[in-house]
Chain A
């Protein structure tokens, strides 16, 4: 048998253990997987599935206290688990490269990029310093870093997350390793940058013939880039196979559940006609929020950030309006500004016909119970020193309910969000992430508000938990008629829950309309790019899934307008919002203005 037929990496029966005796835990249990040459293997699992521990044991970089309890890891005929410290060091970097999740912390902040990159040559003493320099510059060029020379002299903090991840990629591939382990390489990045980085990575490894182990929680993402996929749960491999087969006909129950949990449109609400006619419960006109302060001294530049820059919309009773945008789009600030949790700079917010942006703090407090918010982070949004029942009851303190009614309301609300009565006496740290988010929801709905702002409320949750919480939110809306302002970066979630969609970019609305209008026939170039960047799985007629690469070409603008191509330029004037249908608005540049600015 020739060497080429054998897999490059062969993990056999691997078990990783922490602690000893009674407190022993095994995050990885009897895992076997293999990876061929020039193959991209996706390892998918929810948090705690042990997928990261596998990569760390291959590199023999387990955190202190962890050990490989049994099994072997063969790299091209060598068992890595038996190597001494010196020999494994020669494998690291030279034969296996690695990229980490958090680009902000994976480069040493105190060292220049060049100093860190050159260390990759530690195992190779043949190259002269000049040759090393050339190799580094060439690699930086291949990952499309602008100005590689300057890059080598710069410090990590001078680069954005996406740029840092390219630098990491260049460093990892510098020694042309046979295997690249990428552990959630783009999870911390915005979706457009995520696509850039991963497209680049796959292009490079195909070119160099490197095998890749792509670890991710995102099945859609793995489906887009991997040849084969390995599904993990609870430290065990559930199912392995090539991507198309696993998606179209999964054989294991867990894989099916995972696929069913992916947000999808057909589980969303069918008709939005009735809601269209409801009168708005909230109306926002030309809202501006600025941060920073103007300097009094004329020669100091004022540092003003326009987080929300002229936003108009209305929210109708019982509808779900999704606000979509990347980080820095101002979507979170918008949600806070509606509830007056941040002060608005200009514009007005009307709640149920009352102008509230100029209300005093005292007057506002009475309105607060009618507008609530659910936060992203279930750890920091609940007071760690309060019991669940106290948290849920807190808002009722100011209501007209009597003591007994309040207790009843708390019980009823906990039941509504699917928490059992014995949870009432627990503290937040005794609950799981999903349970905490249910408590957060319970706190918001206990007073039966009219409007609930959910700020990335399901983003921190694993996909199966996320699916259940989304269903809960929809059930509650049907029961109590809440209006949701659903702030999220996740297009899939929007597709499932939204009636209408508002796309934001740098504090401005670039497109808004009914869900189908915005998601199926996007007209703004930004919306199109955003939708193309999101890896999506679509349901096939036979009940399976397949990966779909969407292409969107914005239809020509109406007469007298041009595409808003200069939206990327922060100094450019905002496009004007034009109604292309009764409900669909898109930002365009007025033709006259473009001509004027060019002329």
Chain B
């Protein structure tokens, strides 16, 4: 178990390193003088020289990467060109908003998906199943940003029940904070809920075909016991892996949703950074998102043996 944990931890190191290389290279691939690119539209030769020296542009590429990477490890992601903020604290502050939306969506998506998938699989081939399957495809086919717009149109503009744009921190005002989160969370969870349900349904169908399910029935167990006690845990483990992978699309989707509802989140920050050609922010945001993704999947893999004892090493 400990060996497995250490091995899995060590596996993330090269991945994270490569992620850093990719982010670093990405900015270097932007056509033109990296210093000019980094400084952006500020037309000041003094700053330009300063940045050049800072980036060590006379050094080799490898050396430049080393200098940059040492700083990144140290938590120094540079300074935003938009407003001179330190990038890392700014990112973390924005991430707090994104995390709320993403985690809430995921929680509700899973809470709806698991029983729905189980229901569909246990009634496989019935009208209930076919209906659920169709609704899932439909909700996969509605882009989250359009779902957001429709929700705004109905609950914000027409009915006036909920605020359409803006953000109030839950810490400052719980009731208002929640009000601002409801619509973005719903818009974001539709697609993910469908993905998880489909995964749950198909794994359940596979599990229900195994002999140990027939064996459980042959012992005279109730159908509900067979489903929840025997089939569900076995179907849940593979579904868990999908949750880790879904995080990527949730974080990506958040960038768009945050733009729709003008939430001050990480995605919105990144998009603004791209508009403003604020490369330290773009670099930092991409790095942070990838880091979160890798760590989340590490956690999923480490949790996996709890649900599937065969993986216990």
Chain A interfacial positions (CB closer than 8 Å to B): 59, 61, 64, 85, 89-94, 96-98, 100-102, 105-111, 119-120, 122-123, 155, 157, 168, 171
Contact = CB atoms under 8 A, between A and B. Distances in A.
Contact of B310 (A91, A120, A155): A155
Contact of B309 (A94, A100, A157): A157
B275 interface: no
Contact of A111 (B219, B221, B223, B230): B230
19 contacts: A64-B124, A89-B221, A92-B219, A92-B220, A94-B220, A96-B218, A98-B218, A105-B212, A108-B234, A109-B310, A110-B234, A110-B237, A110-B308, A110-B309, A122-B220, A122-B222, A122-B225, A155-B309, A168-B215
A564 B237 CA distance: 47
A122 B221 contact: yes
A98 B237 CA distance: 28
B217 interface: yes
Contacts of A98: 215, 218
A119 B215 CA distance: 11
Contacts of A85: 223
Nearest to A106: B211
Contacts of B215: 98, 100, 106-108, 168
B214 interface: yes
B307 interface: yes
A594 to B, nearest CB: 39
Nearest to A107: B212
Given A110-B233, A110-B309, A157-B309, A91 B212 contact: no
B307 A93 contact: no
Among A89, A102, A171, residue most surrounded by chain B Cβ atoms (within 10 Å): A89
Given A102-B211, A109-B212, A157-B309, 16 more contacts: A59-B218, A61-B218, A64-B125, A92-B218, A93-B218, A96-B218, A97-B218, A100-B214, A105-B212, A108-B215, A109-B234, A109-B309, A110-B308, A120-B219, A122-B220, A171-B219
Interface in B124-176: 124-125
B19 interface: no
B147 to A, nearest CB: 35
B309 to A, nearest CB: 4
Nearest to A90: B220
B221 A119 contact: yes
Nearest to A103: B211
A289 to B, nearest CB: 27
A587 B214 CA distance: 46
B222 A105 contact: no
Contacts of B216: 108, 119
B306 to A, nearest CB: 10
A61 B214 contact: yes
A518 to B, nearest CB: 37
Nearest to B219: A93
B222 A89 contact: yes
A105 B210 CA distance: 6
Nearest to A60: B217
Task: Return the 6 tightest CB-CB contacts between A and B, nearest first.
Answer: A93-B220, A92-B220, A93-B219, A106-B211, A98-B218, A155-B309
Interface of B: 124-125, 210-212, 214-223, 225, 229-230, 233-234, 237, 307-310
Contacts of B210: 105
Given A64-B124, A64-B125, A155-B310, A106 B220 contact: no
A381 B135 CA distance: 41
Contacts of B307: 110
B220 A61 contact: no
A119 B219 CA distance: 7
Given A64-B125, A155-B309, A155-B310, A108 B218 contact: no
Among B216, B233, B234, residue most surrounded by chain A Cβ atoms (within 10 Å): B216
A301 B116 CA distance: 46
Given A108-B230, A110-B309, A89 B220 contact: yes
Contacts of B310: 109, 155, 157
Contacts of B233: 110-111
A585 B193 CA distance: 67
A67 B123 CA distance: 17
A59 B230 CA distance: 19
A109 B308 contact: yes
Nearest to B215: A106
B93 to A, nearest CB: 42
Contacts of A64: 124-125
Among B125, B219, B234, B307, residue most surrounded by chain A Cβ atoms (within 10 Å): B219
Contacts of A171: 219
Among A94, A97, A122, residue most surrounded by chain B Cβ atoms (within 10 Å): A122
A237 B116 CA distance: 44
A564 to B, nearest CB: 36
B211 A100 contact: yes
A393 to B, nearest CB: 39
Nearest to B125: A64
Among B125, B217, B220, B309, residue most surrounded by chain A Cβ atoms (within 10 Å): B220
A119 B216 CA distance: 8
Contacts of A97: 218
A92 B225 CA distance: 15
Nearest to B230: A108
Contacts of A100: 211, 214-215
A329 B308 CA distance: 30
A100 B215 CA distance: 8
Nearest to A92: B220
Contacts of B217: 59, 61, 92
B217 to A, nearest CB: 6
Contacts of A61: 214, 217-218
Contacts of B220: 89-94, 122-123
B259 to A, nearest CB: 42
Contacts of A120: 219
A109 B223 CA distance: 19
A90 B221 CA distance: 9
Nearest to B306: A110
Contacts of B225: 119, 122
B145 to A, nearest CB: 39
Nearest to A300: B3
Contacts of A105: 210-212
B19 to A, nearest CB: 27
A128 B250 CA distance: 50
Contacts of B211: 100-102, 105-106
A61 B310 CA distance: 28
A485 to B, nearest CB: 35
B236 to A, nearest CB: 9
A192 to B, nearest CB: 23
A119 B125 CA distance: 29
A465 B273 CA distance: 72
Contacts of B308: 109-110
A410 to B, nearest CB: 40
A28 to B, nearest CB: 17
Nearest to B3: A300
A100 B124 CA distance: 24
A100 B218 CA distance: 10
Nearest to B234: A110
Contacts of A168: 215
Contacts of B214: 61, 100
B230 to A, nearest CB: 5
A591 B307 CA distance: 53
Contacts of B223: 85
Nearest to A120: B219
